[in-house]
Structure 1
Amino acid sequence: MPITMPITMPSPSWLLLQAESPHHRLPDDLRARDPLGGRDCGWVEQMTPFVRQFSQPGETVFDPFAGFGTTLLAARLQGRSAVGCEVDGQRIALARERLARHGLGDGVTLLHGSCDTLQSDTLNGVTLPPFDLCLTNVPYFGCRWPGDDAASQLYDSRSYAQHLNSLRDVFYSVRAGLREGGRCIAMVENVRLGERVLPLAFDLARILGALFVMEEERVLVYPHAEEATADEASAHTDRRHEYALVFRKQRECIDLQATSELLNALRAQGHGFTLIGSFARWLADPQGTPPADADIRVDADPQRLDALLQWLRGQGFSLTSWGEPVGLPLHLDSYRGRFYFRADRIDRNGALVRLDIGYEG
């Protein structure tokens, strides 16, 4: 008998999943045809509360790591359209067969490939349609993928740094396709490899935080009776809990007065710059749309840039380039082609001051 989930999620910051419905679980014959035996397949019951809470009937739910179609099935069961990307062709076939057995193949689009490459695939006419909710379980590092080779197969990442960079590329494309105000929700846990624990959940939260605004987190708690085999042990984490990281695509609100004071302080310190973009327009017309940051343009002089960034760091700002921390003293050649640095400061009252420093282009 299928398990009935609440219409909306309960208010606590955790969500207890009692059992997986036999009606919705991945069938054993499909599981047996998967290179990993389907051991990374999530639960429909895990995804259903998020589909209900963060989307409306008729809207589109997207999974950039579609796998066996679990998120897509949860979306269709709730009357949503579903779109997924999957790099493994065999898993696409399994997902389609699974959805067909439920009579829910209509209203589902499955694309073969990684969404960050499909988005630019104009040669074959493949485009990623817009969507209202991104809901996914991310691939874990260190799983020793035994299936077909694929350039975008994150289960086959050679290094943890490469894995994180690939995740960043995927979610950058997610941001482009997600409607304004839509949520991006990623299920993820920290990973144990032998004696080493990799903070995948926390590193992913940092990546998503550079693209979206964090709204909340949920800790998902569920039973898991199966024991890991000896072959799985090197990449095994006790999957009795994981994080659901909930982010939203929206313009951030900056503290306008504090930002104006920062610009005045920069001038007083002798840092030359030209104010451009939305903040400059807002100063000319304060009745217009409030800006989400202040954009300045500076000369690409390594010494002057280093002095500017050193001063900002001393004022409590974090410095990043494409989401990665900027090391000081500055080696500008390492950042050629990246166009700008971002300086963020969150004050004790939660107010945000954000400065984008363009130095080329």
Structure 2
Amino acid sequence: MDSRSWMLLEQEDPAWRLPDDLRQRDPIAARDCGWVEQMRPFIRQFSRPGELVLDPFCGFASTLLAAHLEGRAGLGYEIDPARAALSRERLAQHGATAQRVVADDLLRSPPQGSVDLCLTSIPYFGSRWASADPAQLYASADYARYLEQVGEHFRLIRRLLAPGRYCVVMAENLQLDGQMLPLAWDLGRLLAGQLQLCEERILLYRKPPEKLPHLAWRSDRSHEYALILRNQAAAPDPQQGLAVLQAMQAAGLRFAVFGSFAAWLADEAQAWPADIDLLLPAEDAGVNALLAWLQGQGFALSCWQQALRLPVRLADYRGRYYFRAERVLRNGERLRLDLCFELDEGDVAERLLDARLCRGLPVA
């Protein structure tokens, strides 16, 4: 792979193309079956021989076949059992029997240990393929639920991905009922809440052009995006974080610092954390006052990658534990606050009462 921001895919190699008999046996005619050729450069660039490549939506196992050809181990998840069987048959035809396909959803049967690269083509929203499995992304009835399900998968993928390693997601903006749905761009925003968004490559597929009538706008959709992300948070400026917390305290907002940022306050020799964890009193008025203050300071507010609309009712967010506030300055600096209003262990109110001052800030 070189530094060009685009890759031209000229022709699918017949040796690695999905056989017609497998395509004909698929209930949706091999929709979204990617090329082996589009995956191989990313495998070479972002993994080493012998390492493990994960495809959480493996379909017909194009990624796993590419991993086999590049000397990597492959682990794929395909929620449809019939499709999983076809993908195993395809791999067996190429002698790639060491590659593993799990006929289940990643969230229900996560692997043990870590993976070295996640490489996948996202299942596209808007398929008319009916499925009885509510976890099937093709079966999502509305776009908001679809994005929520995608976010759930990548929260797990972030935990599986070894530190510093990469995740590459192929996606295309869609045309549904004559309207453009910016799926690739929405995914970029969504996944950037889990991983560090590093770059993109635009994959181009050669198609013969057709002349458009005057004022016509529809294109041949002969490109897609490869979003390149890394499991590595960008560390913010410590002074920027301290200044925001001091301003919050001066404004009379109630909070306490905990987690890795509290440890850094106690000992600056420790590494500066990627974000700041705060405990908030679990009552609506105080939380809304703090969120409104942050919004006024240029922070974007979200909960599990979905934008917050103020005022919030904490009762509507039980089980989600925290809100996120993130500010991006024009020089690219980022500051992220995770605002926790409930914990798995211990009571938030008790920890707030027990908070002590450390460098002038309350620490729980």
Give TM-score scaled by structure 1 length: 0.89
Q: Distance in 1 between matches of 2:199 and 2:140?
A: 29
Matching of residue 317 in structure 1 with residue 299 in structure 2: yes
Q: Distance in 1 between matches of 2:118 and 2:312?
A: 36
Alpha-carbon offset, residue 187 of structure 1: 0.4
Q: Deviations over 1:129-167 (max 9, x none)?
A: 521001011111122115x63332221222222211221
Q: Deviations over 1:277-317 (max 9, x none)?
A: 11121121111111111222121121111111111111111
**Letter paired with 2:19:** P
Q: Of residues 179, 194, 198 in structure 2, which corresponds to 1:196?
A: 179
SS in 2 for 1:118: coil
State whether residues 134 and 140 of structure 2, in contact with CA within 8 Å, keep that contact through their aligned partners in structure 1. no
**Letter paired with 1:154:** L
1:340 aligns to what?
322
**Letter paired with 2:29:** G
1:25 aligns to what?
17
Alpha-carbon offset, residue 184 of structure 1: 1.1
User: Structure 1 residues 45-54 or 128-137, which shifts more?
Assistant: 128-137
State whether residues 294 and 354 of structure 1, in contact with CA within 8 Å, keep that contact through their aligned partners in structure 2. yes
1:232 aligns to what?
none
SS in 1 for 2:162: strand
Q: Distance in 2 between matches of 1:116 and 1:237?
A: 36
Q: Distance in 2 between matches of 1:55 and 1:343?
A: 33
Q: Of residues 211, 216, 220 in structure 1, which corresponds to 2:194?
A: 211
1:296 aligns to what?
278
User: Structure 1 residues 217-226 or 257-266, which shifts more?
Assistant: 217-226
Q: Deviations over 1:71-127 (max 9, x none)?
A: 000000000000000011111121111111111212x111111101113xxxxxxx4
1:248 aligns to what?
230
1:171 aligns to what?
154
Matching of residue 136 in structure 1 with residue 120 in structure 2: yes
1:123 aligns to what?
none
State whether residues 324 and 336 of structure 2, in contact with CA within 8 Å, keep that contact through their aligned partners in structure 1. yes
Q: Distance in 2 between matches of 1:85 and 1:209?
A: 23
State whether residues 276 and 336 of structure 2, in contact with CA within 8 Å, keep that contact through their aligned partners in structure 1. yes
SS in 2 for 1:41: coil
State whether residues 18 and 90 of structure 2, in contact with CA within 8 Å, keep that contact through their aligned partners in structure 1. yes
Runs of 4+ in 1 over 3 A off after TM superposition: 224-227, 236-239
State whether residues 319 and 342 of structure 1, in contact with CA within 8 Å, keep that contact through their aligned partners in structure 2. yes
State whether residues 181 and 250 of structure 1, in contact with CA within 8 Å, keep that contact through their aligned partners in structure 2. yes
CA separation of 1:24 and 1:224: change in aligned 2, threshold 3 A: farther
SS in 2 for 1:259: helix
Q: Deviations over 1:245-265 (max 9, x none)?
A: 111111330110011111111
Matching of residue 185 in structure 1 with residue 176 in structure 2: no
Q: Deviations over 1:164-183 (max 9, x none)?
A: 12211221221121111111
State whether residues 273 and 298 of structure 1, in contact with CA within 8 Å, keep that contact through their aligned partners in structure 2. yes
SS in 2 for 1:11: coil
Matching of residue 117 in structure 1 with residue 108 in structure 2: yes
Matching of residue 63 in structure 1 with residue 36 in structure 2: no
**Letter paired with 2:331:** N
Counting aligned pairs with the same residue, the percent is: 49
Q: Of residues 82, 92, 112 in structure 2, which corresponds to 1:100?
A: 92
SS in 2 for 1:74: helix
Give TM-score scaled by structure 2 length: 0.88
Q: Distance in 1 between matches of 2:207 and 2:191?
A: 28
Count of matched residue pairs: 336
1:354 aligns to what?
336
Matching of residue 44 in structure 1 with residue 69 in structure 2: no
CA separation of 1:143 and 1:128: change in aligned 2, threshold 3 A: farther
CA separation of 1:164 and 1:128: change in aligned 2, threshold 3 A: farther
Q: Distance in 2 between matches of 1:248 and 1:46?
A: 19
Alpha-carbon offset, residue 196 of structure 1: 2.0
SS in 2 for 1:265: helix
Q: Distance in 2 between matches of 1:215 and 1:277?
A: 27
Alpha-carbon offset, residue 194 of structure 1: 1.4
Q: Distance in 2 between matches of 1:360 and 1:61?
A: 35
Q: Of residues 258, 275, 280 in structure 2, which corresponds to 1:276?
A: 258
Instruction: Give the aligned CA root-mean-square deviation in angstroms.
Output: 1.9
**Letter paired with 1:205:** G
User: Structure 1 residues 199-208 or 148-157, which shifts more?
Assistant: 148-157
Structure 1: state its 5+ residue gaps. 1-8, 120-126, 228-235
CA separation of 1:152 and 1:359: change in aligned 2, threshold 3 A: closer
1:157 aligns to what?
140
Q: Distance in 2 between matches of 1:218 and 1:61?
A: 19
CA separation of 1:328 and 1:151: change in aligned 2, threshold 3 A: closer
SS in 2 for 1:168: helix
CA separation of 1:100 and 1:213: change in aligned 2, threshold 3 A: same
**Letter paired with 2:132:** D
SS in 2 for 1:117: coil
CA separation of 1:281 and 1:129: change in aligned 2, threshold 3 A: closer
